[in-house]
Amino acid sequence: MRPIRPASATQNGRSSRRGSRILAATGLCATLALTAGACGPGSDEADGQPTAAASVPAGGAEGIKIPDDIKKKLKEHGLDLDKWRGGAWKNWDRDKWLREAQDFVNPIIEDLWDPDRMGRAKQPDRPVADPDLGKDQGVTDPTPARVPASAVDAPYHQSVPEAGKVFFDGPEGSMVCSATVVTDPAHPGKSNLVWTAGHCVHAGKDGGWYRNIAFVPSYNDAGRSAARLKGATRDEVAPYGVWWGDWAQTSDQWIAGGGPTGGAGAPYDFAVIHVTPEKATGKSLEETVGSALPVEFNAPAVPKIARMTATGYPAAAPFDGQKAFQCTDRPGRLSLREGAPVMYRIGCTMTGGSSGGGWVATDRDGNRALVSNTSIGPVTAGWLAGPRLGSEAKGVFDAVSGKFAR
């Protein structure tokens, strides 16, 4: 299984390790095969590099204001804003790939994510497998039975209003993950927070922050087929707009140890993105979509949870990434190594692209809450695993919420 992230060929000038191991946990997010897989390059790339230039005037797009702190941060790293938006972001030289937690920058490039480019963002077809994953760790339950993913009822804004897709660029090209709108205690009813997997925003120990990170809630809201989406307008594909990440944060453990295969860093594979609309409307993300899910930290142990429902946009075969799917199952436990937090695991046939998608459970009163996110899974696409959200996850969440509290 690949962790849902892009497990692609080269990162930071290095070849990604391949092998018989099953999980790819760093996932750019589209592959699920769970090989780092939730993501992958689109067809607009040449030699692993995107070639589509952004249609943005050198001086910036009308109506788009780049905060001074972003301009300053870019300059501190020798990056010119106008050149960045004109195509310099395609430079993935190791020295130019910002890596540290405090170095996240993501200037808006208006209209970069058009329907055609979003439709081509896919995961790399680079499966990895390890039939012994999770064995002999002492706290791993038997492999769950396969649960066929079921299509979410359209329109999505009625059935899963909090769900959507995260798009971003990496050295391998345009990638895609899934994500969830979550509540913000600092802004009740007006949240701009999105929950996803760490491998959907940062490449882990051998890479840095991905670029052009944007969230599209209720992507393809009407559930059209890929064929019917050809020639679709942006409003049809992204009815609630495109929301750019103006800040993202993942765990220190993911940044230090996350990788594309073998499940490295998967127990800490989560991230929070604070977003802002590409085209301002005066409304928050939560107000725009009409809903947001609370995050439940330190959710009950596996035996006490009757079932969890994972939602995502699987992009690897037999799926094409254009429609939302779900799996519901009673969770079991998966331990990748001794001493690491035990992960949740459910039966599910979703593939890459579903990485980062929210796992939801309900309490006795029927209240829904996000308790995990898709991180890794096997090439055979029979199950998914997600981190149990503990103190590290709460720390990330609180930091992002606090940064925008005023």
Structural domains in the chain, CATH included, are 10-43+71-78+91-403 (2.40.10.10)
pLDDT band at 54 (very low <50, low <70, confident <90, very high): very low
Q: Which of 84-88, 232-236, 361-365, 373-377 has the lowest mean pLDDT?
A: 361-365
The residue among 396, 309, 317 whose CA lies nearest residue 37 is 317
Using CA atoms, how far apart are residues 6 and 199, in angstroms rounded to an integer? 8
Strands 193-196 and 173-182, sheet pairing: antiparallel
Mean pLDDT of 117-135: 60
CA dihedral 176, 330, 267, 339 (to 10 degrees): -170
Q: Which of 65-74, 161-170, 333-342 has the lowest mean pLDDT?
A: 65-74
Using CA atoms, how far apart are residues 152 and 326, in angstroms rounded to an integer? 6
Omega cis (within 30) before 318: yes
Within 10 Å of residue 230's Cβ, how many Cβ atoms? Answer: 11
pLDDT at 134 over 80: no
Strands 325-329 and 193-196, sheet pairing: unpaired
- Residue 135 is predicted with a pLDDT of 56
Share of the chain above pLDDT 90, in %: 65
The residue among 99, 240, 216, 131 whose CA lies nearest residue 167 is 216
- Residue 363 is predicted with a pLDDT of 76
- Residue 138 is predicted with a pLDDT of 64
Residues ≥6 apart with Cβ < 8 Å to 210? 28, 168, 169, 170, 175, 200, 201, 202, 203
**Taking a C-beta distance cutoff of 8 angstroms, is the pair 200, 6 a contact?**
no
**Taking a C-beta distance cutoff of 8 angstroms, is the pair 350, 327 a contact?**
yes
